[in-house]
Amino acid sequence: MTGNTPAEKPERIAKVMARAGLCSRREAERWIEAGRVQVDGVRLASPAVTVAPASVILVDGRPMPKQQPTRLWRYHKPKGLLTTHHDPEGRPTLFDHLPEDLPRVLAIGRLDITSEGLLLLTNDGTLARTLELPATGWTRRYRVRAFGRVTQKDLDTLAQGSTVEGVRYGPIEAKLDSQQGGNAWITMALREGKNREVRRVLESIGLKVNRLIRVSYGSFHLGGLKVDDIEEISPAALREQLGAPYGVARKKSAMKKKPVSQKHKRKAHADHRRRS
């Protein structure tokens, strides 16, 4: 490969911070506006700054970590965990729940507290942002159980997109797999992944979701990954799916799974019961 890699080109400071795994680009912009970031001895007031590879960047007075090779993990998120780093209400979050030897990671997209299934995690904030954008074309696929009766004809109307309470949702592919008593099982595929999109769109046609499982995100699948297990995607698979410069070879390191504390289990179960 010839030419500069992304790490060698001058780039916006927020993008550099995100790629280093410190935070998301939006968080980086907020940190900069709060005066927490210095470049070559100058405290920044705006994120509209380009930095060079040789720039000295300090965050909260400490040197920014060196950029690490991009890494990606599949995680089978259980119900009862929030996809956030901090919760004002003190509810359990998946980031408190992950193995202790995992580096700081960001979630690619979100799953709400009552949803489960595949969640991709990465140490590269730029990659996370890229794969979340609808323009990237990465399809999210779900298995959904919903209370109510529906026909395939009803579901076909979602392929044209829909507007629910003033919010416009893009086209959704939906297939009726089975109707068991008062519940329907549906497979759904969408590209936007707006907040609670599946639940709101199905409510608009008279269905109430009572189980939602993400089974794939783009070319990455949940497969046989057990609930609460995490598995790193190999550098070869990263190169195949994302292209250069992703998937740089690195030394293998053992990663032990942190056991779920009984306290978190009880609290997650209690939170789920309150919301049921």
Residue 248 confidence (pLDDT): 52
In this structure, the strands spanning 208-217 and 116-122 are parallel
pLDDT digits (tens, 9 = 90+) for 51-63: 988 899 999 999 9
Residue 25 confidence (pLDDT): 81
Residue 114: inside a domain: yes
End-to-end CA distance of the chain: 54
Regions in the chain scoring below 50 on pLDDT: 1-7, 249-276
Are residues 121 and 241 both part of a single domain? yes
Residues in the chain: 276
Are residues 24 and 50 both part of a single domain? yes
| pTM (two decimals) | 0.73
In this structure, the strands spanning 57-59 and 37-39 are antiparallel
Residue 70 confidence (pLDDT): 87
Number of domains in the chain: 3
**Token pair of 189, please?**
């595929």
Are residues 48 and 109 both part of a single domain? no
pLDDT digits (tens, 9 = 90+) for 64-112: 877 778 899 999 999 999 998 888 898 999 988 888 888 888 899 889 9
Please report, for residues 224, 238, 245, the alpha-carbon distance to residue 241 in angstroms, rounded to integers and kept in the order given.
20, 5, 11
Residue 128 confidence (pLDDT): 86
Residue 8 confidence (pLDDT): 62
Are residues 134 and 229 both part of a single domain? yes
Containing structural domain, residue 240: 68-138+219-276
**Residues 115 and 217 sit within 8 Å (Cβ to Cβ):** no
CATH number at residue 168: 3.30.70.1560
Please report, for residues 16, 70, 219, the alpha-carbon distance to residue 65 in angstroms, rounded to integers and kept in the order given.
11, 14, 30
Residues marked as catalytic: 112
Are residues 90 and 112 both part of a single domain? yes
Residue 33 confidence (pLDDT): 93
